[in-house]
Homo-oligomer: A and B are copies of this chain.
Amino acid sequence: MSASQTPPKPRGRQFFANPGPTNIPDSVLLATAHHTVDFNDPAFAEVYWACIAGLKRVLKTGQEVFLYTGSGHAAWEASLVNLLSPGDVILILESGHFSQSWGRMAKDLGLEVRTVAADWRRGVEIADLQAALAADREHAIKAVGVVHNETSTGMMIPLPEVRAALDATGHPALLLADTISSLGSLDFRMDEWGVDAAVGGSQKGLMLPTGLSFTGVSRKALKAHETARLPKHYFNWGAMMQRPLKSFLGTVPTSFFFGLQESLRLMEQEEGLDNVLARHTRLARAVRAAVQHWSGNNGPQLFCTNPARMSDSVTAVLMPEGHDADALRRVAMQRFNLSLGGGLGPLGGRLFRIGHLGDLNEPMILGTLATVELAIKVGGVPHQPGGVDAALASLAA
């Protein structure tokens, strides 16, 4: 390749600040590169059950978990087909692209979807949810679906408040929570918060490749499963319970378990789960400090305007009017090897997203922020310079 013809590929390690999937630690990557084993072999069963136990500790549940070879959407679908019957009503709390997707899926599978509408920058009013539940006197609503952390907008919905609304109205609907971009990054307590189905995936806080997903399932949900009539096979919990490993229809993706074993070791033994969450909070604050600083001079600003709900795992940054987020992302990627997330659906081109979940530390976040500032500067986007200094001040505090 001649240097004068094509721009050279940017060298050095790619900075992956995209919220999904996310960085995989080297030791997890190498653990995942495990030679093939028989999933019926007792030696594998040891690894397997240790992983299941660890996963339950991360979910903070003493109830059940079912796993799938699939992405997060598979775990969503599994939750619906195992818990509901054709025509059942599911109430979805609007939060952004992913709550919309969940609604579309429910509809495709033959459910009736109702929505608690919300401003995407502030999130749903819990009072609106409570009103909807109270109005449902006949309990037509069989399930309430919430995205715990809406990856498309960088907003966290407080699950304890959702639970409280159900309790306040005495509504028996199942509580389904998408924890895909929160689990292992934000505080999540399945049992304490009364979540009936907690939908999670491998490729975010668990720091694994995409391809393993799962649902934490309450006893109440297992009961509901017995009468649920949506057609299902690949995702059927009942059939799974007949199998020795109590999950998966078909071949078990063994390599993910060797990776999960290592990521659990990193989270629980090397760092400690509480420290993991505290680190996410600390780094997220630094990210927001930088963005808030840039927003001076009509610069890019935080998309989420509700301070209580700003996500500690992803930050969406709204571009100033007239400036294309995707152009900025191309500069970041092609000149500096920094991968940022883009806006999804109607937000395409209007915002970019910084993922700050999983295997991260101060240098990685600071390198990301500094490079975003560099790309903003190089790209001629108005902003107040000094965002990195603001992040430094936040981290030094």
A contact residues vs B (CB 8 Å cutoff): 1-3, 8-16, 18, 20-26, 29-38, 40-41, 68-74, 76-77, 86, 104-105, 108-110, 201, 203, 209-212, 230-234, 236, 239, 248-256, 266, 269-272, 274-276, 279, 333, 335-339, 341-342, 359-371, 373-374, 377-378, 385-386, 388-389, 391-392, 395-396
- Known contacts A234-B74, A271-B11, A274-B3: does B37 contact A16 (CB below 8 Å)? yes
B370 touches A73 (CB 8 A): no
Apart from A24-B36, A38-B341, 13 more pairs, CB < 8 Å? A3-B272, A11-B279, A12-B23, A13-B364, A69-B69, A73-B234, A108-B231, A230-B231, A337-B361, A363-B367, A363-B370, A370-B370, A370-B392
- Closest Cβ neighbor of A342 among chain B residues: B40
Chain B residues lying within 8 Å of A16, measured Cβ to Cβ, are 35-38
B69 touches A8 (CB 8 A): no
Q: In the complex the two chains form, what is the Cα distance from A20 to B250 in whole Å?
A: 10
Q: In the complex the two chains form, what is the Cα distance from A335 to B368 in whole Å?
A: 18
Chain B residues lying within 8 Å of A2, measured Cβ to Cβ, are 272
- Known contacts A210-B69, A250-B71, A367-B366: does B361 contact A12 (CB below 8 Å)? yes
> How many subunits of this chain does the assembly comprise?
4
**5 A-B pairs with C-beta separation under 8 A:** A11-B359, A211-B253, A363-B367, A366-B371, A377-B392
Chain B residues lying within 8 Å of A374, measured Cβ to Cβ, are 362, 366, 392, 395-396
* Shortest distance from the beta carbon of A183 to any chain B beta carbon, whole Å: 15
The contact of A388 among B20, B248, B339, B370, by CB within 8 Å, is B370
- Closest Cβ neighbor of A379 among chain B residues: B396
Q: In the complex the two chains form, what is the Cα distance from A341 to B234 in whole Å?
A: 23
B71 touches A251 (CB 8 A): yes
Chain B residues lying within 8 Å of A251, measured Cβ to Cβ, are 20-21, 71-73, 201, 203, 210
- Closest Cβ neighbor of A278 among chain B residues: B3
- Known contacts A11-B276, A18-B38: does B396 contact A377 (CB below 8 Å)? yes
B73 touches A249 (CB 8 A): yes
The contact of A371 among B109, B341, B362, by CB within 8 Å, is B362
- Known contacts A2-B272, A23-B36, A33-B30: does B72 contact A250 (CB below 8 Å)? yes
Q: In the complex the two chains form, what is the Cα distance from A10 to B283 in whole Å?
A: 13
Q: In the complex the two chains form, what is the Cα distance from A274 to B362 in whole Å?
A: 32
Chain B residues lying within 8 Å of A361, measured Cβ to Cβ, are 10-13, 15, 336-337
The contact of A14 among B31, B35, B274, by CB within 8 Å, is B35
Chain B residues lying within 8 Å of A34, measured Cβ to Cβ, are 26, 29
